[in-house]
Amino acid sequence: MTEYSKEKFISDDFGMIFICAIRYCIGRQTYMPRLIQRQIRELLPQLDGGTLIVMRNDIKTAGYWGDERIDKPGWMRFLADIEAELENRCRCGNDNDQGVRNNEDFNQKTAE
């Protein structure tokens, strides 16, 4: 993974572009989901917590991720990476991002 400066260089609008890209790609059986996942994965530490939460929720609630053997495993790995980033922020006390800690209701509902 590429090392990026700790200084935040991605705007909230840029995070929205990532959300749009994920929403476009979920369920598509092309090369695009893997490309988007790879590009965003490297920047997860730079994204704000709200963006991570929306991406996580969109992937969790999609219901269809494409081919079960080809596409779905990639989405589940990407989801695990997003959840690991959120967990790391909570564990390290970096919960300055609004909503990172206050998102337990969604976790409870989707776990059921």
Instruction: Judge whether 63 lies within some domain.
Output: yes
32-67 pLDDT tens trace: 999 999 999 999 999 999 999 999 999 999 999 999
In a domain, residue 23? The reply is yes
Residue 47: phi and psi, rounded to 5, are -80, 150
How many other C-beta atoms are found inside a 10 Å radius of the C-beta of residue 78? Answer: 23
Burial class (CB in 10 A: 0-12, 13-18, 19+), 95: middle
Instruction: State how many domains the chain has.
Output: 1
Structure tokens at 24: 């476009």
First to last CA, the chain: 33
Does the residue 2 lie in any domain?
no
What rounded mean pLDDT belongs to the chain? 83
**Would residue 7 count as lying in a domain?**
no
Q: 71 lies in which domain range?
A: 12-111
Tracing tokens 């919960």 back to the chain, one arrives at 95
pTM here is: 0.76
